[in-house]
Structure 1
Amino acid sequence: MVYKTAKKLKIDGLAEEDSWQKAPFTSSFIDIEGIKKPVYDTRVKMLWDDENLYVYAVLEEPHLWGNLKQRDTVIYYNNDFEIFIDPSNNTYNYGEIEINVLGTLWDLKLSKPYKVSGKADNSWDIEGIQYAIHTFGTVNNYMDIDTQWSVEFAIPLLKLADLKEEKKTIPIHGEQWRINFSRVQWEHEIIDGRYYRKKVDGKFLPEFNWVWSNQKVINMHEPEKWGIIQFSTLQPGEVDVFIEDEGLLQKQLVYAFFRKNLALLRKNPDEIKSSVEEFKIDNQHFKYQLKKIANGFEITLKEINSKHIYYIDQEGLLKKI
């Protein structure tokens, strides 16, 4: 739940205002595959007003370091914090923001996920974005042990609304968006007094990926797995009720069938066979239809007692018909 602040916030990386103090933290981040507990803690708070979505993150970190200073470079080659936002909640047209401890920003958007031939648009700049870093320790000093760093954002809602398929307006009470947060963390080594990503046998060790909403795979670009935030006009400290999506199970089943058949389409398309079947989950009765077509497939899923049918094809855009 994202509550609305009536008071102006100073973007300084500290989040000391009363609104921030009353806003709840998310649960601690988990491993992106949901298997291992992260070594260091990461949590996030969110607020909004008629102008901005505010995000405040606290990242536990004993070694504050970074060397990337040019905007729109590949920031995840440093330890970083990342935000992924899909205002239309349909996996198409979403934004991504990455930042390192030096305050170097990378903002980009994708028209669709990479797995369906989406491409990153690095020319997308969030005009008017404000952000600040606060460090609890010293940056790039290997001689000491640090505590954490925090980052605070004010992200213009009108710029995010441009990502919407329809009604490119700021959120209203009860509106829900898909969002996820990620933290990329590298093992490091010290060479001539400087921090570098650690190598073994000439190859970089794999990074750690810690997230708010479990992706179950090392891939942030499956937006259907991101968490859901709900905008509330209630003030921080008050409690609103989350609106459950009655079609959520049906949507997630369609996406699961989509991922399965997309993998077959890439590896062995002959294994895709047109079929119709019925099954039950949690006392709900579903009818699933897979149709093989030239260069792809079509999937429909209907809950027997519902008048709605969900449709998806190899392009991955879910439709309710």
Structure 2
Amino acid sequence: MKTKDHMYRIEKYSNIHCLIVFLFIVFWSYAQESNENVSPKKYIAYFTDQSIDVNGNESEESWKKVKATEHFIDIEGVKTPKYKTSVKMLWNEEYVYFLAKMEEPHVWGNLKQRDTIIFYNNDFEIFIDPDNDTHNYYEFEINALNTLWDLFITKPYREGTPVLNDWDANGLKSAVQINGTLNDPTDIDKGWTLEVAIPFKVFRTSYYHKNVPRDTFWRVNFSRVNWDFQLEQNRYQRKKNQQGKFESEYNWVWSPMGVINMHRPEDWGYVYFSSKKTGEQDEFELPQDHRVKQYLYMLYRKQKEFYKKNNRWGTTFEEISSNHLEIEGNRLIRNLENHQTGFNITVVSPFTNRLFIIKEDGKIVEKED
């Protein structure tokens, strides 16, 4: 759960199990655009009818039949991490499964309480937005001790909304296998493997919601947090600089974000849940309207930047410095409308003729034109 300079932090009092959220709008995120050369990754999760024993091992034949993702890249999409990370996915009618493999010469962890700030240890993180609207999404963080932090996030942190830290992913199963020795600085480890099963019912929006994603996609990303360490009384600790402050962590991800901020669901990867079984082959291409939504988020960020400078919303596209009128050579029909509580920016897709509206809180509404 990373944003630049750790602007967003959540702490939980263990004695009263009470959430304290201190969230501020990250002004830099409005001005900083994503790297235009970064495009979302895609992955096909195949169906399995085999029983999966969540034990941290890749023992089932289904795991052996599916490919892993590409090795992770630095969050900005530029640097190659010093340790390799990859993920596999499967699904059946009840669960979505994840298997993450992480190279690590020193496997360590000291956080054992659920819902504490797990990324203060090296960890693995799963981000899921089932309906691709950037709101009401999920985050799961797990360290090498198999300690879980699960969160439900109503809106990205840029909107200053609270996080539901007391939300629980009931029925989630996870297991860790360590190729080496945990918390032993006297030897060199090879790494650790994390296996996770999350019930689809966790993502239901109502009791009768049929949400098993057969032959459709979710927006998903994975992040691995890795810290340089120091030893204190022969125990691993996050490394500090000469001023006594913790050095910055490394953020390694599957689908690069272009900026140091995981909480931009519009930039996550695409996972397609194929009804074909493991061992079979399927194909998936990014939806054409992905480009339309990315264009809308560009306008959204420019409006936010304009408001920061002028204390009002821009009323024309010329004011917010956006004269770009085409996507892949297709001319856009667009409209900017302000109202008492914000704005609506509307674009008609040149690919599907669907109407897309982005609101001041970043939520996209999709309609038939």
Report the TM-score when normalising by structure 2. Answer: 0.82
SS at match of 2:307: helix
Match of 2:256 among 189, 203, 214: 214
Compared with structure 1, are the counterparts of its residues 282 and 62 closer, same or farther at alpha carbon in structure 2 (3 Å cutoff)?
same
Aligned to 1:94: 137
SS at match of 1:251: helix
Match of 1:173 among 214, 217, 237: 214
CA offset digits 1:210-246 (Å, max 9, x no partner)? 1111111111111011111111111111111215412
Compared with structure 1, are the counterparts of its residues 248 and 296 closer, same or farther at alpha carbon in structure 2 (3 Å cutoff)?
same
SS at match of 1:90: coil
Distance 1:75 1:224 in 2: 24
Which stretches in structure 2 are left out of the alignment for 5+ residues? 1-43
Compared with structure 1, are the counterparts of its residues 197 and 305 closer, same or farther at alpha carbon in structure 2 (3 Å cutoff)?
closer
Report the TM-score when normalising by structure 1. Answer: 0.94
1:128 aligns with 2:174: no
Contact 1:275 1:291 in 2 (8 A): no
1:53 aligns with 2:99: no
Aligned to 1:184: 225
Counterparts of residues 256-295 of structure 1 (less than 5 Å): 256-270=298-312, 272-275=314-317, 279-295=325-341
Stretch of structure 1 that moved more, 242-251 or 41-50: 242-251
Distance 2:199 2:227 in 1: 30
RMSD: 1.9
Stretch of structure 1 that moved more, 262-271 or 211-220: 262-271
SS at match of 1:233: strand
Distance 2:58 2:100 in 1: 9
* Deviation of 1:312 (Å): 0.9
User: What is the one-letter code of the residue matched to 1:317?
Assistant: K
Distance 1:20 1:304 in 2: 40
Query: What is the number of equivalent residue pairs in this alignment?
Result: 319
Contact 2:313 2:342 in 1 (8 A): no
Counterparts of residues 137-148 of structure 1 (less than 5 Å): 137-148=180-191
Distance 2:350 2:87 in 1: 40
Aligned to 2:28: none
Match of 2:149 among 100, 106, 111: 106
1:247 aligns with 2:293: no
Distance 1:308 1:105 in 2: 40
Aligned to 1:227: 269
> Stretches of 4+ moved more than 6 A in 1?
none
Match of 2:235 among 194, 201, 208: 194
User: What is the one-letter code of the residue matched to 1:169?
Assistant: K
Contact 2:122 2:225 in 1 (8 A): yes
Contact 1:230 1:242 in 2 (8 A): yes
